[in-house]
Structure 1
């Protein structure tokens, strides 16, 4: 007797087609199978045509009659269900081409998203859904544009000039953070450690006020190769000891964000872009975001150098004052 293995069969066909082939091999027809299963001929025909799913009960009956394990029929049904769901999502994305085209082309150039090159996604946009870890464009809208970004203090990217590029920058930071997990932090201990370490951070800024002569601008990554600024890596290591994550993430011309503060998976995150023209701008942005860690708790998400209405502008003013003081203490001219 032929041995049937699920992985040898085409997943795009319903399991009923395989059952039809087995019945032909056994010399049975649909009426014979219906009688042996105790089902009506119509019910069996629905199974053979793929109009009815194979349930565990049906799979066990088929095992008894065909001597093919119930697990085989169930795997075939799951594989076919997955294929139908995938095709449904692709079709829905095909009906929303503007959503796919709204994201910056740099996503492909940088290798963040390889639209049309991964797992047969073609131009469907499935790779974009995987990048953002959302099930549909509607879910993306709800999460990023309808103020459901996962923080207690909700923020809507619908207010920014380019929510698509902004969301990609935020999401890239999440992905990089997930690649290098940190222990969960408590707000009060982090603040205490930060207060103690602040003079060391300011001294580090004072020692790294200008770019090396051979560098035209601060950079952490280029399309040609990775170029690591020692100042950046040193700052990351210094803050990690405190329990603060610092990330440098390329932004986009259409969304020139300088920095962001938020708590991500119970770790305070300062996310900066990596193309500052000078160290002074970088340090001011960093100290601005550091103030949010020190004073403004876990419920907020703050984006700097981008047109967005902050619910608490006084917190932005407080962060600016803190940054200015740190800059003066570090010897920068303000």
Structure 2
């Protein structure tokens, strides 16, 4: 039998107590309970208690039964383990019923849509699935665990997020990142990769969206594309999974290439500049006013990667007079950058209105 990471459906009707099997075995062999007790050196009362399910069928007893019945001890042990597990599950179900209101915190419809839950019913089965999804024993443990996590989060957002939706989105990202094979992280490898990543901006998203994760995996960075989730206000996240592997998760919240590429290089800055202890959860790193020193550094890094200082004077001229739009096209070609990114920068700097230059912005959206 191979072990699987897939959750198992609980089916108590399929599990019989080991005493039932022992009783049938004795009947087939023509052995009475008293005779079995003499054969294996136990009291008749003890044998009867095993048959009634009142006494545990221990591994030592399983070996004795193997000799008396020629049924392998492993089978007796397995029957006992399955029976006791069922009893504990039934007890747990009663306890979990009291915790069903915990599910009200979560976007159950989104969880159904993303395949975490089969439906959005508030029942014990879905509560179990949620606990398995997060890898925790019960809701109390989950809340205590998240309380310790929050002190390691760095979050930039101008809006109050739904923390539970955020935890779901981040967990989806982490689980996806764990499945991505990466070389051990090296800072030099990531630095060497930056020019190539920047060059991808001029290509269509349909091409770089497949190439980008493989390139970053060579530097120890697991890139995850996770659809935006309502009420999380997240553009990206950075989290170290091991000392040799870091996750950068990106959402399609704004669905435009200018925001996507800024977010990517912003998250890369966290990897390169800000150590391995913190999880960074970033809203709109291009415009958010609530910034820490780390966020300011990451913003500046992204700005300088996309439009390096060597082009600063040219950009200032463009910013002073960005029209006609052929100037934007010429500048983007000159610096080797997607036109939409230049438009996004000009909008951020107030040189263009946010409803101007939309034709240059390439759509970015992640598949379900």
Relative to the length of structure 1, the TM-score reads 0.75
- The residue that corresponds to 2:221 in the other structure is 244
Shift of 1:174: 1.9
Q: Distance in 1 between matches of 2:190 and 2:306?
A: 16
Deviations 1:65-84 (A, max 9, x none): 22322222112112212323
Structure 2 counterpart of 1:198 = 194
Matched, 1:107 2:111: yes
Give 2:255's aligned residue. 277
Corresponding residue number in structure 1 for 2:73:
70
Q: Distance in 2 between matches of 1:51 and 1:95?
A: 28
Hey, what does 1:154 align to over in structure 2? 152
Residue 132 of structure 1, aligned match among 120, 125, 134: 134
Shift of the alpha carbon at 1:258? 1.0
Structure whose CA Rg is larger: 2
Pair 61,49 (structure 1): closer, same or farther in 2 beyond 3 Å: same
Instruction: Tell me what 1:39 maps to.
Output: 42
SS at match of 1:123: helix
Which of residues 96, 100, 105 is equivalent to 2:99? 96
Instruction: Name the CA shift for 1:18/1:156 in 2 (closer, same or farther; >3 Å).
Output: farther
User: Given that residues 113 and 131 in structure 1 are in contact (C-alpha distance below 8 angstroms), is that contact kept between their aligned partners in structure 2?
Assistant: no
Structure 1 segments unaligned to the other structure (5+ residues): 1-9, 213-227, 307-311
Give a deviation string over 1:49-105, Cα, whole Å, max 9, x none.
212221122112222222322222112112212323333343332221122343211
Residue 291 in structure 1 maps to residue 269 in structure 2: yes
Instruction: Measure how far apart 1:292 and its partner are.
Output: 0.6
In the other structure, the counterpart of 2:300 is 321
Give 3-state SS (helix, strand or coil) of 2:166's partner.
helix
Q: Which residue of 1 aligns with 2:143?
A: 141
Superposition pairs for residues 259-278 of structure 1, below 5 Å? 259-265=236-242, 266-278=244-256
**How many angstroms apart in 2 are the aligned matches of 1:325 and 1:167?**
31
Q: Please report the RMSD computed on the Cα atoms of aligned residues, expressed in angstroms.
A: 3.1
Separation in 2, partners of 1:279, 1:116 = 33
Asked if the contact 2:161–2:233 (Cα under 8 Å) also holds between the matched residues in 1, the reply is no
Q: 1:148 Cα deviation (Å)?
A: 4.4
2:19 aligned partner:
16
Distance 2:76 2:119 in 1: 34
